[in-house]
Amino acid sequence: MSKYIRKSVLAYLAGIIDGEGCIRFDPDRTSTGKLTGTIVIMVNMLDPTIPLLFKEIFGGFYRVHTRRDFVTKADVHMWTSKAKKAGNVLERLIPFLIIKKEQAKLALDVIEFKNSPRRRMKAPITKKEEAKYAEFYLKFKELNKRGERKAYA
């Protein structure tokens, strides 16, 4: 990830995340069945320009989804960033986010939790930690639900 990026570019990319992007918590289970999860940021567009710009600036993954868009029958260009790399992206964009600022803050909380000393040691997940992952999941589910949204000034 480049160190210096103009604020206008960061603001533009934050607008893309607000309008076209997704910040989500992907739940997962350990081999012992304990709930965990990871943060994922995605931008999917019919034109490759912006997903490739995200890849150039922030790294992450770029691919073309050949299951074509239902309306236009065009390929969908996808950029994805996960886990700690997603946190680095959000730290750069959060000052400019409007609609998805709460998801970004929550995502950074998840990443901080996952990078605690105990979690870095790969210690078995306790019931308390599993409950925290469940809480993160439910908060994301609420923030990302479809339907009527509040107006932003």
CA separation for the pair 67, 73 (Å, rounded):
9
Q: Is the distance from CB of 23 to CB of 100 less than 8 angstroms?
A: yes
H/E run at residue 82: strand 76-82
DSSP 98-140: STTHHHHHHHHHHHHHHTSHHHHTTPPPPHHHHHHHHHHHHHH
Q: What is the pTM of this model?
A: 0.86
For CA atoms 141, 146, 112, 85, the dihedral sign is positive
Per-residue pLDDT of the chain (153 residues; tens, 9 = 90+): 556 789 999 999 999 999 999 999 999 988 888 889 999 999 999 999 999 999 999 999 999 988 765 677 788 999 999 999 999 999 999 999 999 999 999 999 999 998 888 777 778 888 999 999 999 999 999 998 876 666 555
* Range 71-74, long-range pairs (CB < 8 A, 24+ positions): 72/46, 74/46
Overall CATH class of domain 7-143:
alpha beta
